[in-house]
Structure 1
Protein backbone atom coordinates (compact mmCIF):
# COMPACT_ATOMS: atom_id res chain seq x y z
CA UNK A 1 0.00 0.00 0.00
CA UNK A 2 1.22 3.50 -0.87
CA UNK A 3 0.70 6.43 1.48
CA UNK A 4 2.14 9.92 1.67
CA UNK A 5 5.10 9.88 4.01
CA UNK A 6 5.53 12.27 6.92
CA UNK A 7 8.81 13.93 7.96
CA UNK A 8 8.85 11.65 11.01
CA UNK A 9 8.53 8.53 8.84
CA UNK A 10 11.21 9.92 6.53
CA UNK A 11 13.62 9.77 9.49
CA UNK A 12 13.24 5.99 9.49
CA UNK A 13 13.78 5.84 5.71
CA UNK A 14 16.85 8.05 6.04
CA UNK A 15 18.39 5.55 8.47
CA UNK A 16 18.23 2.77 5.85
CA UNK A 17 21.01 4.35 3.75
CA UNK A 18 23.93 4.07 6.15
CA UNK A 19 26.89 4.21 3.76
CA UNK A 20 27.91 6.69 1.08
CA UNK A 21 27.24 4.00 -1.55
CA UNK A 22 23.75 3.36 -0.14
CA UNK A 23 22.96 7.07 -0.32
CA UNK A 24 24.41 7.37 -3.81
CA UNK A 25 22.20 4.49 -5.03
CA UNK A 26 19.17 6.04 -3.30
CA UNK A 27 19.63 9.75 -3.99
CA UNK A 28 21.83 9.79 -7.06
CA UNK A 29 24.90 11.91 -7.74
CA UNK A 30 23.20 15.30 -7.28
CA UNK A 31 22.70 15.01 -3.52
CA UNK A 32 25.82 15.02 -1.39
CA UNK A 33 26.14 11.70 0.46
CA UNK A 34 26.75 13.30 3.86
CA UNK A 35 23.89 15.79 3.68
CA UNK A 36 21.79 16.00 6.86
CA UNK A 37 18.22 14.74 6.79
CA UNK A 38 16.61 18.20 6.63
CA UNK A 39 18.71 19.09 3.60
CA UNK A 40 17.76 15.83 1.87
CA UNK A 41 14.04 16.41 2.59
CA UNK A 42 14.32 19.92 1.11
CA UNK A 43 16.49 18.85 -1.85
CA UNK A 44 13.97 16.14 -2.76
CA UNK A 45 11.18 18.73 -2.50
CA UNK A 46 9.21 16.32 -0.33
CA UNK A 47 6.73 19.06 0.63
CA UNK A 48 5.92 19.65 -3.05
CA UNK A 49 6.23 16.27 -4.79
CA UNK A 50 4.26 13.13 -3.99
CA UNK A 51 6.63 11.38 -1.56
CA UNK A 52 5.28 7.93 -0.90
CA UNK A 53 5.91 5.25 1.64
CA UNK A 54 5.29 1.62 0.71
CA UNK A 55 3.73 -0.44 3.47
CA UNK A 56 3.73 -4.22 3.48
CA UNK A 57 2.26 -6.24 6.36
CA UNK A 58 1.59 -2.92 8.14
CA UNK A 59 5.30 -2.09 8.08
CA UNK A 60 7.03 0.75 6.22
CA UNK A 61 9.39 -1.00 3.81
CA UNK A 62 9.96 1.50 1.00
CA UNK A 63 10.08 5.12 -0.10
CA UNK A 64 9.90 6.80 -3.51
CA UNK A 65 8.55 9.80 -5.28
CA UNK A 66 6.24 9.68 -8.27
CA UNK A 67 5.57 13.10 -9.71
CA UNK A 68 4.67 14.86 -12.92
CA UNK A 69 7.96 15.53 -14.68
CA UNK A 70 6.26 17.12 -17.66
CA UNK A 71 2.85 16.86 -19.29
CA UNK A 72 2.03 13.25 -20.10
CA UNK A 73 4.79 11.78 -17.96
CA UNK A 74 5.31 10.72 -14.37
CA UNK A 75 8.78 10.22 -12.95
CA UNK A 76 9.77 7.72 -10.27
CA UNK A 77 12.65 8.99 -8.17
CA UNK A 78 14.62 8.19 -5.01
CA UNK A 79 13.31 4.66 -4.62
CA UNK A 80 14.66 2.73 -1.67
CA UNK A 81 13.61 -0.49 0.05
CA UNK A 82 14.58 -1.19 3.65
CA UNK A 83 17.77 -3.30 3.43
CA UNK A 84 16.33 -5.79 5.94
CA UNK A 85 13.41 -6.42 3.58
CA UNK A 86 15.34 -6.84 0.32
CA UNK A 87 15.39 -10.11 -1.56
CA UNK A 88 11.70 -10.82 -0.85
CA UNK A 89 10.24 -9.42 -4.08
CA UNK A 90 9.04 -6.24 -2.37
CA UNK A 91 10.92 -3.98 -4.79
CA UNK A 92 8.91 -5.42 -7.67
CA UNK A 93 5.63 -5.00 -5.74
CA UNK A 94 6.63 -1.45 -4.86
CA UNK A 95 7.43 -0.45 -8.45
CA UNK A 96 4.18 -2.04 -9.63
CA UNK A 97 2.28 -0.02 -7.00
CA UNK A 98 4.05 3.14 -8.21
CA UNK A 99 3.10 2.33 -11.79
CA UNK A 100 -0.53 1.81 -10.75
CA UNK A 101 -0.34 5.20 -9.01
CA UNK A 102 1.07 6.84 -12.16
CA UNK A 103 -1.44 5.18 -14.51
CA UNK A 104 -4.33 6.53 -12.42
CA UNK A 105 -3.79 9.80 -14.26
CA UNK A 106 -5.41 9.35 -17.69
CA UNK A 107 -3.06 11.85 -19.35
CA UNK A 108 0.04 9.84 -18.48
CA UNK A 109 1.57 8.29 -21.58
CA UNK A 110 4.79 7.06 -20.01
CA UNK A 111 6.74 6.73 -16.79
CA UNK A 112 10.42 7.58 -16.52
CA UNK A 113 13.15 6.94 -13.99
CA UNK A 114 16.92 7.15 -13.71
CA UNK A 115 19.25 4.57 -12.25
CA UNK A 116 22.99 4.44 -11.69
CA UNK A 117 24.69 2.14 -14.24
CA UNK A 118 26.37 0.15 -11.45
CA UNK A 119 23.03 -0.59 -9.74
CA UNK A 120 22.58 -3.90 -11.58
CA UNK A 121 19.75 -5.22 -9.38
CA UNK A 122 17.64 -2.14 -10.06
CA UNK A 123 18.43 -2.18 -13.78
CA UNK A 124 17.41 -5.83 -14.04
CA UNK A 125 14.18 -5.19 -12.13
CA UNK A 126 13.19 -2.23 -14.30
CA UNK A 127 14.01 -4.10 -17.51
CA UNK A 128 11.93 -7.07 -16.36
CA UNK A 129 8.98 -4.71 -15.86
CA UNK A 130 9.30 -3.40 -19.42
CA UNK A 131 11.33 -0.23 -18.90
CA UNK A 132 13.61 0.57 -21.83
CA UNK A 133 16.90 2.45 -21.64
CA UNK A 134 16.94 5.83 -23.34
CA UNK A 135 19.85 7.62 -24.98
CA UNK A 136 21.71 9.86 -22.61
CA UNK A 137 24.61 12.27 -22.59
CA UNK A 138 25.20 11.81 -18.83
CA UNK A 139 27.24 8.66 -18.15
CA UNK A 140 26.41 8.88 -14.42
CA UNK A 141 22.79 7.84 -14.96
CA UNK A 142 20.76 5.45 -17.11
CA UNK A 143 17.42 7.01 -18.05
CA UNK A 144 14.61 4.53 -18.59
CA UNK A 145 11.04 4.81 -19.85
CA UNK A 146 7.95 2.65 -19.81
CA UNK A 147 5.15 3.41 -22.26
CA UNK A 148 1.53 2.91 -21.29
Structure 2
Protein backbone atom coordinates (compact mmCIF):
# COMPACT_ATOMS: atom_id res chain seq x y z
CA UNK A 1 0.00 0.00 0.00
CA UNK A 2 1.12 3.54 -0.55
CA UNK A 3 0.97 6.37 1.91
CA UNK A 4 -0.71 8.88 -0.43
CA UNK A 5 -4.36 9.81 -0.30
CA UNK A 6 -6.75 9.09 -3.17
CA UNK A 7 -6.47 11.67 -5.94
CA UNK A 8 -2.94 12.75 -4.98
CA UNK A 9 -0.25 12.34 -7.62
CA UNK A 10 3.09 10.93 -6.58
CA UNK A 11 5.41 13.94 -6.57
CA UNK A 12 8.59 11.94 -6.11
CA UNK A 13 8.10 9.92 -9.31
CA UNK A 14 6.90 12.29 -12.08
CA UNK A 15 5.57 10.71 -15.25
CA UNK A 16 7.41 11.67 -18.43
CA UNK A 17 5.42 11.60 -21.64
CA UNK A 18 7.13 11.16 -24.95
CA UNK A 19 5.99 13.61 -27.64
CA UNK A 20 3.60 12.22 -30.21
CA UNK A 21 5.17 11.36 -33.55
CA UNK A 22 4.75 14.05 -36.23
CA UNK A 23 2.01 13.42 -38.75
CA UNK A 24 2.55 13.47 -42.45
CA UNK A 25 1.31 16.59 -44.17
CA UNK A 26 -0.70 14.54 -46.67
CA UNK A 27 -4.45 14.44 -45.99
CA UNK A 28 -6.16 11.13 -45.45
CA UNK A 29 -7.72 9.59 -48.55
CA UNK A 30 -11.41 10.37 -48.94
CA UNK A 31 -13.70 7.52 -48.08
CA UNK A 32 -16.51 6.71 -50.49
CA UNK A 33 -19.86 8.09 -49.42
CA UNK A 34 -22.18 5.55 -47.93
CA UNK A 35 -25.91 5.92 -47.97
CA UNK A 36 -28.12 4.43 -45.37
CA UNK A 37 -31.57 3.52 -46.58
CA UNK A 38 -34.46 4.83 -44.55
CA UNK A 39 -37.22 2.26 -44.28
CA UNK A 40 -40.76 3.39 -44.89
CA UNK A 41 -42.46 3.40 -41.53
CA UNK A 42 -46.14 4.01 -41.08
CA UNK A 43 -47.32 4.74 -37.59
CA UNK A 44 -50.81 3.44 -36.92
CA UNK A 45 -53.04 4.34 -33.99
CA UNK A 46 -55.91 2.05 -33.13
CA UNK A 47 -58.77 3.50 -31.10
CA UNK A 48 -61.28 1.04 -29.67
CA UNK A 49 -64.63 2.59 -28.81
CA UNK A 50 -66.61 -0.66 -28.72
CA UNK A 51 -67.20 -0.73 -24.97
CA UNK A 52 -70.44 -0.09 -23.15
CA UNK A 53 -71.24 3.65 -22.97
CA UNK A 54 -74.18 5.47 -21.42
CA UNK A 55 -73.62 9.06 -22.54
CA UNK A 56 -71.54 11.11 -24.97
CA UNK A 57 -69.23 12.37 -22.21
CA UNK A 58 -67.98 8.82 -21.62
CA UNK A 59 -67.37 8.30 -25.35
CA UNK A 60 -65.46 11.55 -25.89
CA UNK A 61 -63.54 11.03 -22.66
CA UNK A 62 -62.48 7.56 -23.80
CA UNK A 63 -61.54 8.94 -27.25
CA UNK A 64 -59.42 11.61 -25.60
CA UNK A 65 -57.80 9.15 -23.18
CA UNK A 66 -56.83 6.69 -25.93
CA UNK A 67 -55.38 9.43 -28.16
CA UNK A 68 -53.84 11.67 -25.51
CA UNK A 69 -50.25 10.82 -26.46
CA UNK A 70 -50.86 10.57 -30.22
CA UNK A 71 -48.76 13.29 -31.79
CA UNK A 72 -48.41 12.44 -35.45
CA UNK A 73 -49.25 9.28 -37.34
CA UNK A 74 -49.96 7.98 -40.79
CA UNK A 75 -53.17 6.07 -40.17
CA UNK A 76 -55.82 6.08 -37.47
CA UNK A 77 -58.13 3.07 -37.19
CA UNK A 78 -61.21 3.79 -35.10
CA UNK A 79 -63.47 0.90 -34.14
CA UNK A 80 -66.89 2.07 -33.06
CA UNK A 81 -69.47 0.01 -31.21
CA UNK A 82 -73.23 0.42 -31.27
CA UNK A 83 -73.26 1.94 -27.76
CA UNK A 84 -70.73 4.63 -28.70
CA UNK A 85 -72.67 5.48 -31.85
CA UNK A 86 -75.98 5.64 -30.01
CA UNK A 87 -74.63 7.70 -27.10
CA UNK A 88 -72.58 10.26 -29.05
CA UNK A 89 -74.45 11.73 -32.04
CA UNK A 90 -71.63 14.17 -32.95
CA UNK A 91 -68.90 11.55 -33.05
CA UNK A 92 -67.81 12.44 -36.61
CA UNK A 93 -66.98 15.97 -35.52
CA UNK A 94 -65.10 14.77 -32.42
CA UNK A 95 -63.01 12.34 -34.49
CA UNK A 96 -62.24 14.97 -37.11
CA UNK A 97 -61.30 17.52 -34.47
CA UNK A 98 -58.93 15.04 -32.89
CA UNK A 99 -57.09 13.95 -36.05
CA UNK A 100 -57.44 16.53 -38.85
CA UNK A 101 -53.90 17.85 -38.29
CA UNK A 102 -52.12 14.74 -37.05
CA UNK A 103 -53.21 11.88 -39.33
CA UNK A 104 -52.95 11.38 -43.07
CA UNK A 105 -55.61 8.70 -43.22
CA UNK A 106 -58.52 7.92 -40.92
CA UNK A 107 -60.38 4.60 -41.09
CA UNK A 108 -63.66 4.32 -39.24
CA UNK A 109 -65.04 0.85 -38.64
CA UNK A 110 -68.72 0.57 -37.66
CA UNK A 111 -70.73 -2.58 -36.96
CA UNK A 112 -71.87 -4.25 -40.18
CA UNK A 113 -75.44 -3.85 -41.28
CA UNK A 114 -76.13 -0.82 -39.14
CA UNK A 115 -77.47 2.62 -39.94
CA UNK A 116 -74.27 4.23 -38.61
CA UNK A 117 -72.25 4.08 -41.83
CA UNK A 118 -72.75 7.82 -42.31
CA UNK A 119 -70.28 8.55 -39.46
CA UNK A 120 -67.31 7.99 -41.80
CA UNK A 121 -68.68 10.46 -44.35
CA UNK A 122 -69.50 12.92 -41.56
CA UNK A 123 -65.96 12.70 -40.17
CA UNK A 124 -64.51 13.14 -43.66
CA UNK A 125 -66.62 16.25 -44.27
CA UNK A 126 -65.63 17.77 -40.92
CA UNK A 127 -61.96 17.01 -41.59
CA UNK A 128 -62.18 18.86 -44.92
CA UNK A 129 -63.83 21.83 -43.22
CA UNK A 130 -61.33 21.93 -40.35
CA UNK A 131 -58.35 21.63 -42.70
CA UNK A 132 -59.68 24.42 -44.94
CA UNK A 133 -60.34 26.62 -41.92
CA UNK A 134 -56.85 25.95 -40.61
CA UNK A 135 -55.27 26.78 -43.98
CA UNK A 136 -57.28 30.01 -44.15
CA UNK A 137 -56.20 30.97 -40.65
CA UNK A 138 -52.54 30.32 -41.50
CA UNK A 139 -52.83 32.39 -44.66
CA UNK A 140 -54.15 35.33 -42.64
CA UNK A 141 -51.41 35.15 -40.01
CA UNK A 142 -48.46 34.92 -42.41
CA UNK A 143 -46.78 38.15 -43.33
CA UNK A 144 -46.21 38.92 -46.96
CA UNK A 145 -42.62 39.62 -47.82
TM-score surpassing 0.5? no
TM-score, length-normalised on structure 1?
0.33
Rg (Cα) greater in structure: 2
TM-score, length-normalised on structure 2?
0.33
Q: Considering fraction of residues, name the structure with more strand.
A: 1
